[in-house]
Amino acid sequence: MSVSVQNLSVAYRSRRGDVTAVDNVSFALADGEIMGLAGESGSGKSTLGNALVYLDQRMKATGGTVTVDGRELPIADTRAMRPLRMTEVSLVPQYAMSALPPTRKIGKLMTDLLKSHRVGDQRAVMTELKRRLELIGLREDVLDKYSFELSGGMRQRVTIIMSTLLNPSLLIADEVTSALDVSTQRAVGEMLLEFRDRGFVKSVITITHDLAILAQIADSIAIMYAGRLAERASTDAIVNSPLHPYTQALIASLPEVGVRHDQVTLTGIPGRPPSLVSPPAGCRFRERCPFAFDKCTQTPPFVEIEPGHTVACWKASDERGAAAGRAGQEQAV
């Protein structure tokens, strides 16, 4: 396990008290795994991603540990995190397109970075950088350009190159494909795959609300709802046999190929996600869940009910628990 997040909670300070945007989240990533983190707006996915790299002044980690390559990250200590950013964990922010300063040339920006991290052999890194630029189809002369001389897609790719220049173990790509046209989305997705395959990054978390792009590039998907993980399984399992009612509704709300939507209306999920200022007790999807029953007033545990398939839902764990009970016992023997 190259990355392991245990019981991580992150809260935003607000005048009405702390708002827990990421609540007791645990997951692990194997070396070379690309995990998609999906969920609707406000579900805490970006907060989770940011918390692993940079907690800004409004945020605070209220519990949990993050381990990368067997080493615990001091995520609450922004000063201690400084040398680890971009070398151990790196984030491509949501605003990757405007993340380059207008007054510094790209090449200078890269050397600034090497100086900040006190990289000894700058020449070797710059040679490698040129190789990578070539790899993703950018010409070397972008290094002599200012960011405003590049197109949006080029800037996005330069930002990704910059974030991965120092070969971080974990790369968090926050909405890197949104705001791009479909073909560029695909190119960026493939770039992430390529970088993983070549070992520039060990594992990747891509945060998005676009399940289609995840189906193409992710090995596994975690679904987040109202600050908690609802379900985590392989991409195949999430797409074809989701267990959590929220995931099921999410998948069902996607348009299907070949269906004409002038006859069939796309269905969404009725209701709205709960406010995180005073979240309801028990399962947070309860209000909107068609299968809710008495037990749902208690918080469902996030349990592995099949190998590699973890769900936080009483219905799913009760049903599968009964069916898989026998199998589980046999395995235990």
Partner 1 sequence: MSTAVSEILDEPKTPAVGRKRSDFVYYGLRNKKLVFGLGLELLLVLFAIIGPMLAKYGPQTLTGAQLHHPGGTYWLGTDSLGEDVYSQLANGIRESYLVGALGAVSAAVVGMTLGFTAGWRGGILDEVLQMVTNIIVMLPSLVLLVVIGSYLNSRSVLFEGVFIGLTTWPWVARAVRAQTFSLRSREFVEMAKLSGKRPLEIIVRDIAPNMASYLFLVVILLFGSSMLLAASYDFLGLGPSNTVSLGWMMNQATQNAALLYREWWWFVPPGAVLTAMVAALLVANVGLDEVFNPKLRQQ
Residues that bind partner 1 (CB under 8 A): 53-54, 56, 81-87, 90-91, 93, 95, 98-105, 107-108, 111-113, 115-117, 122-123, 126, 130, 140-141, 143-145, 159, 162-163
- Judge contact between 276 and 21, C-beta under 8 A: yes
* Residue 62 or 111 with smaller CB distance to partner 1: 111
Q: How far is CA 140 from CA 15, 143, 159, 241, 257, in A?
A: 49, 6, 15, 46, 40
* Residue 90 or 185 with smaller CB distance to partner 1: 90
Alpha-carbon gap, residue 327 to 76, rounded angstroms: 42
Q: How near is the Cβ of 52 to partner 1 at its closest, in Å?
A: 11
* Residue 135 or 215 with smaller CB distance to partner 1: 135
* Residue 15 or 123 with smaller CB distance to partner 1: 123
Q: How near is the Cβ of 76 to partner 1 at its closest, in Å?
A: 16
Q: How near is the Cβ of 192 to partner 1 at its closest, in Å?
A: 17
Q: How near is the Cβ of 12 to partner 1 at its closest, in Å?
A: 16
* Residue 50 or 235 with smaller CB distance to partner 1: 50
Task: DSSP for 225-268, please give it.
Answer: ETTEEEEEEEHHHHHHS--SHHHHHHHHTS--TT--TTTSPPP-
* Residue 145 or 209 with smaller CB distance to partner 1: 145
Q: How near is the Cβ of 114 to partner 1 at its closest, in Å?
A: 9
* Residue 88 or 231 with smaller CB distance to partner 1: 88
Residue among 40, 3, 327 at smallest CA distance from 171: 3
Q: How near is the Cβ of 24 to partner 1 at its closest, in Å?
A: 25
- Describe the strand order of the beta sheet including 3-12 as a list of residue ranges: 19-29, 3-12, 59-68, 71-72
Q: How near is the Cβ of 253 to partner 1 at its closest, in Å?
A: 31
3-6, Cβ contacts within 8 angstroms, sequence gap of 24 or more: 3/28, 3/29, 3/66, 3/67, 3/68, 3/169, 3/170, 3/202, 3/203, 4/28, 4/29, 4/66, 4/67, 5/52, 5/64, 5/65, 5/66, 5/67, 6/64, 6/65, 6/66, 6/67
